[in-house]
Structure 1
Amino acid sequence: MEKELKRLVRILKGEYALLWILTLLLAGLYECEILPQGLLAGNAQAEYIMQVASILLTVCLIPLSLRIFSLSLTRYVTGLPLPKALKSYRRWSEVRIALLLTASLINLSAYYWTMDTTGLLCAGMVIIASLFCIPSKERLLNELHLSDISNPDE
């Protein structure tokens, strides 16, 4: 069981690192001018729509990604047998990371398309929110109420 837990944590850490890598890669592509910047700059209506979309996306997806995970844990995952609980925990962790990644990439694109800092601030909020999702073995054990597995001597 210990081996499965370590494997799951390693996978989740890799997926979490992918969130940061893809976000930094997109920013790098825009900064190196591989992807075009300022596509919507100067178009007031398009800038307004992108800013509002960025704000709404951030306001909706950050709480959703954090809350849906905790609700799934309390209502569903903790009642499952351990092998199924680990699979479900992984799936809900991936959903949470995907929601944050989507918001991050869209907000960064909105920033570079409009050259207005609203998208950058929203992307920053998403990245800061992702710090509340850092996977670790201790967190996994705590959230699945498996603290007795980690310390069999106690």
Structure 2
Amino acid sequence: MEERINKTVKYLQAEYIMIWILPIVLVILYETGIMTEGDYAGDARMDYILQTIGILLTVGLIPLSLRLFSLSLVKCVKLLSLPDALSSYRRWSEIRLGLLVVPVLTNLSFYYLTLNTTGLFCAAMSLIASLFCVPTRKRIWNELDLLKEEKEEE
């Protein structure tokens, strides 16, 4: 079982690192001119629409990702057997990371399209929120109550 937990941690850590690599790649693409920037820089209406979408995504998805994971953990994952709990935990962790990466990439794109720093702030908030989701072996043990189960077996 230790091997399966370690494998799950490695997969989740690789996926977590991608949350930080994807924005860096997007910035490189815009800064090198591969993707055009400033397409809507002078358009006030489009600027307003894109910034509103970015803010709503950020304000909606950050709390949803953090709260949804804890609700699913309490209601579903802890009731399963350990192998099923690990696969369900991984799936919900991936959903949570996916919900956090959407506002990051969207707001970075909106920043480069409008050159309005609101997109940068929203992307930064989402990246900071991802720091609450760093996958570690200890976190899996605590969130799945494996320490408590191990003590009960002794």
Report the TM-score range of the alignment, normalised by the length of the smaller protein. over 0.9
- Structure 1, gaps ≥5 residues long: none
| 110-119 vs 18-27, which moves further | 18-27
Question: Deviation at 1:109?
Answer: 0.2
Given that 1:141 and 1:150 are in contact with CA atoms closer than 8 Å, whether structure 2 keeps it comes out as no
Task: Name the aligned partner's letter for residue 82 of structure 1.
Answer: L
Give the corresponding residue for 2:16: 16
Task: Tell me, yes or no, if the aligned pair for 1:78 and 1:144 is still in contact at 8 Å.
Answer: yes
Structure 2: distance between partners of 1:40 and 1:149: 56
TM-score under structure 2 length normalisation: 0.95
Residue-by-residue CA offset, 1:127-149 (whole Å, 9 max, x unaligned): 00000000000000000000157
Identity of aligned residues (%): 53
2:72 is aligned with 1:96: no
Q: Distance in 1 between matches of 2:48 and 2:67?
A: 29
Counterpart in the other structure of 1:57: 57
* Counterparts of 2:29 and 2:21, CA distance in 1: 12
User: Are positions 1:113 and 2:117 aligned together?
Assistant: no
**Distance (Å, rounded) in 1 between the aligned partners of 2:151 and 2:18:** 31
In structure 1, C-alpha distance between the alignment counterparts of 2:128 and 2:33, rounded to whole Å: 26
Which aligned runs of 4 or more in structure 1 are off by greater than 3 angstroms? 148-152
Q: Which residue of 2 aligns with 1:44?
A: 44
1:97-154 Cα distance to aligned partner (Å, 9 max, x none): 11111111000000000000000000000000000000000000000000157789x7
Unpaired stretches in structure 2, ≥5 consecutive residues: none
Give, as a single letter, the amino acid of the residue that structure 1 aligns with 2:11. I
Number of aligned residues: 153
